[in-house]
């Protein structure tokens, strides 16, 4: 996963979702589903930022999986808002494309992490190192 590109995409997506939330809450007076959409859509990037501080590979993987789950939830809320007439087909397509792009990136990142061989420890303490010849 290209962390910078993925973080940039997730930030841009979060801004788009935030703008849609503002439109839904101010113009459509829809508060419940739009707040769920806001939490899920901005949670993608938040989990990616948390993944950067992961203590280990398993923690990193868990945060990426949480981001993927947020993508799935975001897609669900977009579909419900579209089907119930709160957002237009244009608004739906505009958001769903970014959501699906992030979902694919995260899915393949998880797949690659799970199939990657474990890397040897890079920092070996002096006590465990064998003396040289």
First-to-final CA distance of the chain = 41
pLDDT of residue 108: 96
The residue ranges of every structural domain in the chain are 3-115
Cβ burial, residue 112 (10 Å; 0-12/13-18/19+) = exposed
Name the average pLDDT for the chain.
Answer: 90
- pTM of the predicted protein model: 0.85
pLDDT of the residue at 124: 40
Q: Judge whether residue 122 has pLDDT over 90.
A: no
Contact 60, 3 (CB under 8 A): no
**Per-residue pLDDT tens digits for 62-80:** 999 999 999 999 999 999 9
Q: Which CATH superfamily is domain 3-115 in?
A: 23S rRNA-intervening sequence (1.20.1440.60)
Spell out a b/e string for 56-84, using b for 16 or more CB atoms within 10 Å of the CB, else e.
eeeebbebbbbbbebbebbbebbeebbee
């Amino acid at each position: 996963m290209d962390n910078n590109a993925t973080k940039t995409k997730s930030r841009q997506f979060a801004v788009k979702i935030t703008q849609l939330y503002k439109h839904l809450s101010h113009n459509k007076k829809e508060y419940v589903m739009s707040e769920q959409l806001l939490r899920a859509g901005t949670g993608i990037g938040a989990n990616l930022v948390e993944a950067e501080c992961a203590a280990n590979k398993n923690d990193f993987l868990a945060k990426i999986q949480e981001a993927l789950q947020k993508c799935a939830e975001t897609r669900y809320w977009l579909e419900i808002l579209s089907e119930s007439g709160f957002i237009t087909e244009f608004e739906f397509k505009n958001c769903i494309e970014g959501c699906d792009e992030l979902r694919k990136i995260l899915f393949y990142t998880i797949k690659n992490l799970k199939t990657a061989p474990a890397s040897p420890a890079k920092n070996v303490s002096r006590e465990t190192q064998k003396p040289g010849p």
